[in-house]
Structure 1
């Protein structure tokens, strides 16, 4: 059930400043402010460039923006189907516990099924017990035995130049 007064809408190009603000707030919560370097223009290119590389929605409660989700489609070769990868979901702290996060994930699950996806996946920081408990309440389970690997910055450039 969607909470009363909640609207989930696709992000529009004019939402780039709002998305940048939400991402900075998420980064502060996750103690990763130093990694949140995306600009409003970066979000415009990511979401509305040619081709768009990701999608986003804005959660509004009582007409005010209170959260967002950003996702993209990956591929599962084992399933031979697309996967919806949830990059970020954020609900402002004052609005948590009202069913907004659950409504966002329900919307994303519907999008995943409509796109023929075999699964939805996302990452969560291992110390974020409230988020982990919330994900378990949705029926999500950790991917045992796997760890996320990352190449970025100088290491990415060095490999590309080799």
Structure 2
């Protein structure tokens, strides 16, 4: 990792971000769910500033990314950071890149005076679970994520 660095993504990195999203979807067997486009990412990340992205590089090669945004804890009375995605290319895994990305976000949370950093992980993804547990991250087993999307979201909004 001697030529390793992390930097915030810029608008001209949108294609790189989209490629990482597609790699992540393939890893998670969710390729058919990716509807993100370059234009959508440019709009929501860089124009509307609803999320931030950091990119990890080994020399000139982009090897990983993390996408995150601020949430808010009413109990803590302050913002936190929600890590939506963290992904490292397969050939670069196990070399510290993922840990470096997560540490960058943790330091950012401290710098921004956030109360915590949170994320979710698919229950079958044992390599990632083992990685997170090795960092002393706590699994929030008593919480279940719920989702309204697509047609369900539309139906709910139109429900009398």
Shorter-chain TM-score bucket reads over 0.9
- Counterpart of 2:4 in structure 1 is 6
Q: Of 87, 91, 102, which aligns to 1:90?
A: 87
SS at match of 1:17: helix
C-alpha distance in structure 1 between counterparts of 2:157 and 2:11, whole Å: 32
Q: How big is each residue's C-alpha offset from its partner over 1:48-74, in whole Å with a ceiling of 9 and x where there is no partner?
A: 11x310000111102111110000000
Displacement of 1:35 = 1.2
Alignment of 1:24-103 (within 5 A): 24-49=22-47, 51-103=48-100
Task: State the Cα distance separating 1:144 from its structure 2 match.
Answer: 2.2
2:151 to 143, 154, 161: 154
Q: 1:21 is paired with a residue of what secondary structure?
A: helix
Inter-partner Cα distance in structure 2 for 1:36 and 1:123: 18
Aligned residue in 2 for 1:120: 117
How far 1:119 sits from its partner (Å)?
A: 0.6
Q: Distance in 1 between matches of 2:108 and 2:153?
A: 32
Aligned length: 159
Unaligned runs of at least 5 residues, structure 1? none
Q: Structure 1-normalised TM-score?
A: 0.96
Ranges of 4+ aligned residues in structure 1 off by more than 4 Å: none
Q: 1:21 aligns with which of 19, 22, 27?
A: 19
- Tell me the C-alpha RMSD between the 2 structures: 0.8
